[in-house]
Amino acid sequence: MMGPGIAVTLALGGVHTTILSRRQESAQRGLEAAHAQLRLLHENGLAPAEKAGWARDNLEARAGYQEALEGVDLVIESAPENMEFKQQLFARLEEFANPAAVLASNTSGLSITAIASHCQRPERVLTTHFWNPPHLMPLVEIVKGGKTSDGIAERVRTLLAVCGKVPVVVRRDTPGQLGNRLQLALLREALHIVQEGIASVEDVDLAVKNGFGLRLPVYGVFEHADIVGLDMVLAILDYIAQDLCNSRQAPPSLRERVQRGDLGAKTGVGFYDWSKKSAADVKARRDGFVLEFLQRAGLPRA
């Protein structure tokens, strides 16, 4: 559930926020999850008691669209990744929301231009892709659709910055947006390395976690290139680019695993044997690392 973490972000920014669902029971579960996330942030020094308290007061849960959307300035949808469903949902949101309201989707990959194609005012529709878990991860990708207003994109960027996030604008609606394009390019090369017998799954992960991945939070790709020197970067890329994977589809090793039903932690086997490895422990270690980084870095929060 991405909705509670998104709601927490807005509430910490001083925005009165409603967690909206088709049923009151699921809306209430979302509210309880949001309260738990607020407690986590407070306990780890990322939300002072007073701020966590009024953020909690800024949160409510409701069912049904029509009354809940009256007077709302911003709607952020976090429904399942189904294009037809989202198109129908946005058409309905537009019907009930006030004409000036911004309609945003948390989609991680679907075209916001296509989602907005059933709307009468597509200029007010955009993507706000929060990274998971949204109450911890600073990044939000604002993706402009083919008709999204520049002014609306900038208004949303300003709001998210006030709420303590690090928003980036993806100027052109493109598959994978920004972060996932980079992440999947890395995964494609990692799969190729394993498939070619260059290194094992375990050693690829170790190389990422203990090498360049360790410095990425504070040392960007282009910063690294400039510091190394673009002449050296050019020479290295010219040398190895011809040997990098340039497949236009997912590598066979991934397709074969899926066809066998080896889907990862949810089936017990993927690249790892999850009978010997705990997905819950891995996620807890991930979230603990992010919390510690946020504490040390002192990134702005609302």
Q: Check: CATH 3.40.50.720 for 3-170?
A: yes
Q: Determine the residue type at 186.
A: L
78 is catalytic: no
Sequence spans of domains, the chain: 3-170, 178-259, 261-302
Taking residues 215-238, what's their average pLDDT?
95
Given the residues 44, 108, 132, 149, select the one marked as catalytic: 108
pLDDT of residue 111: 96
Q: How far apart are CA 124 and CA 103, in angstroms?
A: 6
> Does the active-site annotation cover 108?
yes
- pLDDT by residue (tens digit) across 243-288? 999 999 999 999 999 999 999 999 999 999 999 999 999 999 999 9
* pTM summary value: 0.91
Rounded to an integer, what distance in angstroms lies between the CA atom of residue 96 and that of residue 64? 11
For residue 67, pLDDT beyond 90: no
* Contact between 33 and 1 (Cβ < 8 Å): yes
Phi, psi of 293 (to 5 degrees): -65, -45
In angstroms, the CA 3 to CA 135 distance is 10
Of 19-28, 179-188, 273-282, give the lowest mean pLDDT range.
Answer: 19-28
Active-site choice (180, 189, 192, 253): 180
The confidence band for 59, taking pLDDT boundaries of 50, 70 and 90, is: very high
pLDDT band for position 299 (50/70/90)? low
- Give me the CATH code for the 178-259 domain, please: 1.10.1040.10
Per-residue tokens: 159: 């709001």
CB atoms closer than 10 angstroms to residue 63? 16
CA distances from 289 to 44, 78, 108 (A): 12, 25, 23
Mean pLDDT of 1-24: 93
pLDDT of 102 strictly over 70: yes
Residue of 154, 128, 124, 157 whose CA lies nearest to 143: 128
Given the residues 77, 106, 129, 135, the one annotated as active site: 129
| Confidence at residue 300, expressed as pLDDT on a 0 to 100 scale | 47
Q: Is the CB of residue 18 less than 8 Å from the CB of residue 61?
A: yes
Residues whose CB falls within 8 Å of the CB of residue 196, separated by 6 or more in sequence, listed in order: none
Q: Which of 109, 260, 96 is nearest to 183 (CA)?
A: 109
Q: Do domains 3-170 and 178-259 have the same CATH topology?
A: no
Cα–Cα distance measured from residue 206 to residue 209, given in angstroms and rounded to the nearest whole number: 5
The CA distances from residue 172 to 147, 154, 155, 190, in Å, are: 10, 14, 17, 27
SS3 content of the chain, % helix, strand, coil (to 5): 55, 15, 35
Rounded to 5 degrees, what are φ and ψ at 129? -90, 100
Catalytic residue among 58, 94, 135, 141: 141
What tokens were used for 284? 């807890």
Q: Is residue 180 annotated as a catalytic residue, yes or no?
A: yes
Instruction: Tell me the per-residue pLDDT of 114-155, one tens digit each, with 9 for 90 and over.
Output: 999 999 999 999 999 999 999 999 999 999 999 999 999 999
**Does 60 participate in catalysis according to the annotation?**
no
Query: Helix or strand or coil: residue 47?
Result: coil
For residues 197 and 15, give the distance between their C-alpha atoms in angstroms, rounded to a whole number. Answer: 52
Q: How far is 170 from 178, CA to CA, in rounded Å?
A: 7
User: In angstroms, rounded to a whole number, what is the distance separating the alpha carbons of residues 191 and 204?
Assistant: 9
4 token code pair: 């509670």
